Structure 1
């Protein structure tokens, strides 16, 4: 996705401004047209606040049309007909293009139940979720009344718009839409950071196969060179972080049992705050380990 500087966006003619921001809110160039009249914007946050205000203050029929402009999640027919590039990338980021049969059936069931009750599609900012948490959100929201769900849909549309805007516009006062997941390994038997430990982060799934998110090697400080997840929300869900400590101690000539008492250590944890910083450290010896929730 190409980006545009906020200063350049402020200087565009109305049509250019609308063309640049026309799909920040799905299929809604009229939203961008109303925002164009409020220029110039001093920062990206101010621009987002203007978009959010136009969406939230729109008449009820306009908000309902906006909600209905969004696609169902994991719908093969809509994918074949053609999602917008933004919607396609967002659904793919959560793995909705790679569902198991059980997951696909679950999405079809909840999509149908939701549409039958409310008459509009279920909307959630999928870049903040895993497949499992999207399905849980469906079940949590399904008992609501239509007015509550319309409000929830508008809230999620604004979250989607914030992430699209963050990817598109470069300027001051950026949006706080990113989270971070990090780790740090300390070899407490030698009193130093554990360098060279292979790490794997896996997203766990109840109905389908687990998904490897990233692999890394700890550096001289016992950390990874980059966050395990960074520069985007950390999706709500369950994860497993595994550490190849057996290979690490063997490479350092530490006497070990055969096979070693600790070979690969898996830590299972959950993420509930997509825009937060979750730190999952490991303190390890050849015979013991500990962890805690850091930030």
Structure 2
């Protein structure tokens, strides 16, 4: 999807401006309508601040309507009725369209419990989450009071809107909505970077199937040509990064046992900062390996 230049939004008529930004906040074009009065914007940060201010200064009933405009997560009935393109893509990014029976039952249980207590849908920015972290967040937030959850919902709506606006509008400045996960492999046996190592990044799951996020091969510098995850938040959750080191050392004529002492090396780690840079390197010989949390 091509981005709309900020200069074009600044020059547009109010009706056109509102139409282009109408779904940055779910089914709530009144937010773009209020922000239009503060043009021209020097950057996307200033535009987003104006949209957030419209929400912050709205009366409680309008804030509640904004919260209720969002769908429940992983709700089959609402999916059948049709979600906005933005909501559908966001839920799919976390695998909520591919739930196991156990996962679906867990989401149905917590959705119902949350609605029964607060009277509005549970909202979280799913692009920053995995299925497991969403279910954990549900449980952590259920004991809260209604006022706390209303504010938490607005905070999550701001995160959702920031990501939508980042995708939609092109400007010289950027919103701080992206993280990065990277790796590199050092061959400590030969004292140099390790090229040609196949690796697989998997999102781990207890209730459903674990999901392969990406596959890559290290380049001449022992790194991958692109981040394992980049240009978006790195979802909160548990991961495994598996390195095929046995084939690498065998291809270099290193004397090895049969089968090799180290063949595929799995590193398991967790992500807690979606907008941060997490670096997970591997330092390896045919008989040992180490890692650390880099950045």
TM-score, scaled to structure 1: 0.99
**Secondary structure class of the residue paired with 1:240:** strand
In structure 2, the gaps of 5 or more residues are: none
Match of 1:77 in 2: 77
Q: How does 1:141-290 map to 2 (within 5 A)?
A: 141-290=141-290
Match of 1:105 in 2: 105
Q: What's the Cα RMSD here?
A: 0.5
**Secondary structure class of the residue paired with 2:38:** coil
Per-residue CA deviation, residues 239-285 of structure 1 (Å, 9 max, x unaligned), is: 00000000100111111100000000000000000000000000000
Per-residue CA deviation, residues 5-26 of structure 1 (Å, 9 max, x unaligned), is: 0001111000110010000000
For the residues of structure 2 that align with 1:125 and 1:244, how far apart are their CA atoms? 34
Point out 4+ residue stretches in structure 1 off by more than 6 angstroms. Answer: none
For the residues of structure 1 that align with 2:108 and 2:2, how far apart are their CA atoms? 34
Residue 3 of structure 1 deviates from its aligned partner by 1.4
For the residues of structure 1 that align with 2:54 and 2:168, how far apart are their CA atoms? 19
Per-residue CA deviation, residues 211-266 of structure 1 (Å, 9 max, x unaligned), is: 00000000000000000000000000000000000010011111110000000000
For the residues of structure 2 that align with 1:2 and 1:33, how far apart are their CA atoms? 23
Residue 132 of structure 1 deviates from its aligned partner by 0.2
In structure 1, the gaps of 5 or more residues are: none
Residue 139 of structure 1 deviates from its aligned partner by 0.2
For the residues of structure 1 that align with 2:48 and 2:222, how far apart are their CA atoms? 38
**Secondary structure class of the residue paired with 1:112:** helix
**Secondary structure class of the residue paired with 1:40:** coil
For the residues of structure 2 that align with 1:238 and 1:262, how far apart are their CA atoms? 23
Per-residue CA deviation, residues 57-81 of structure 1 (Å, 9 max, x unaligned), is: 1100000000000000000000000
Match of 1:92 in 2: 92
For the residues of structure 2 that align with 1:56 and 1:202, how far apart are their CA atoms? 39
For the residues of structure 2 that align with 1:78 and 1:57, how far apart are their CA atoms? 30
Report how many residues are paired: 295
**Secondary structure class of the residue paired with 1:243:** strand
For the residues of structure 2 that align with 1:24 and 1:230, how far apart are their CA atoms? 22
**Secondary structure class of the residue paired with 1:37:** helix
Residue 2 of structure 1 deviates from its aligned partner by 3.2
For the residues of structure 2 that align with 1:39 and 1:137, how far apart are their CA atoms? 37
**Secondary structure class of the residue paired with 2:137:** helix
Match of 2:20 in 1: 20
For the residues of structure 1 that align with 2:226 and 2:52, how far apart are their CA atoms? 32
TM-score, scaled to structure 2: 0.99
Whether 2:118 is the aligned partner of 1:118: answer yes
For the residues of structure 1 that align with 2:290 and 2:250, how far apart are their CA atoms? 20
